[in-house]
Amino acid sequence: MDWRRIYRAADWLMIALALQGLWILGTLAGLVVLGYGPASTALAACWRSMVHESTESSVQEGCWRLFWRTWRRELGRSQGVVLVPTLTLWPIVFWALRTRSLPVAVVVLAIGCGLLLTLVYFPVAAAAGSGRGVVESWRLGVALAWTRPGPTMGIGLGVVALAVVSVTVSSIVWPLFVPSLPVLAAVWSSERTLGRRQAVELDPPA
C-alpha cells in the first residue's frame, strides 16, 4: 500500500473542505444570489492555482487572499458569466416536474442535466480570463465542457455518487464538498483544452 498517495489524497480533501468553507462565506457575503457568481469564480481561481503550483503549502497560504481578490474583481462580471446561466436551470427543472408527459419530462431532464454539467465549467472559464466578455466566457465554458465529453460525464457520475453517499451514509457530505470537488474536477479536465487555446492565441496560424 502506497501511504504517500493516501496522505496526498487526504491533503486534497482537506483543501477541498477549506475552499468549500471559503465558497460558503463568499456566497453569504453577496447575500447568496449576488455572492454565488463571484464565490464560484474565486473557487475555480484557487483550484487553478493549486493545480499549477508545484508546492501546495505556498498556495494554501495565499488562497485566502487569492479568493477574496478574485471575489472582488469578479463581483460584477460573474453575474453574467455564472449567475445568469445558472438561473436558466430553474425553469427547466420546473417544467420537467410539472409536465404530465413522460417522454417530454425525460427530454427536459436530459437537457437540464447537460446544462448542469456545462455550468460546472463556467466558473473555470471566468477564472481563466478576466478580460473575456460574458458571451465569450460562455462559449469558452461550453468548449471546456464538451471538447472532451468523457471527463464531463465523469464529473456527472461523481456528483451522483456524492449525492448517493449523502443520502445513504451522511447528509453532511454534500454541503462539505459540493461544489468544491466538482469544480476541482472541471479545472483538471480543462487544463489541456485551455493550454491548446492559449497556444493558438499566442501563435495563431498564418
pLDDT of residue 114: 94
Domain ranges of the chain: 3-202
CA distance 18 to 176: 9
Q: What is the pLDDT of residues 139-165, one digit of tens each?
A: 999 999 999 999 999 999 999 999 999
Q: What is the pLDDT of residues 91-144, one digit of tens each?
A: 888 887 788 788 888 888 889 999 999 999 999 999 998 788 999 999 999 999
How much is the CA Rg of the chain, to the nearest whole Å? 18
Confidence of residue 7 (pLDDT cuts 50, 70, 90): confident
Question: Comparing 56 with 36, which gets the higher pLDDT?
Answer: 36
Confidence of residue 204 (pLDDT cuts 50, 70, 90): low
Q: Which helix (H) or strand (E) holds 196?
A: helix 180-202
pLDDT of residue 61: 56
pLDDT of residue 59: 54
Burial class of residue 181 in the structure, from the number of CB atoms within 10 Å of its CB (0-12 exposed, 13-18 middle, 19+ buried) = buried
What would the 3-class secondary structure string for 154-170 be? HHHHHHHHHHHHHHHCC
CA 69-74-80 angle, to 5 degrees, is 165
* Mean pLDDT of the 188-204 span: 72
- Give me 25's grid cell: 462565506
Confidence of residue 200 (pLDDT cuts 50, 70, 90): low
pLDDT of residue 6: 80
Least confident of 38-42, 50-54, 98-102, 121-125: 50-54
Dihedrals phi, psi of 204, to nearest 5 degrees: -65, 150
Q: What is the pLDDT of residues 166-190, one digit of tens each?
A: 999 988 999 999 999 999 999 999 9
Residue 86 has pLDDT above 80, yes or no: yes
Residue 201 has pLDDT above 70, yes or no: no
136, 144, 181, 203 from 80: Cα distances, Å? 11, 18, 23, 30
Residue 10 has pLDDT above 60, yes or no: yes
Burial class of residue 7 in the structure, from the number of CB atoms within 10 Å of its CB (0-12 exposed, 13-18 middle, 19+ buried) = exposed
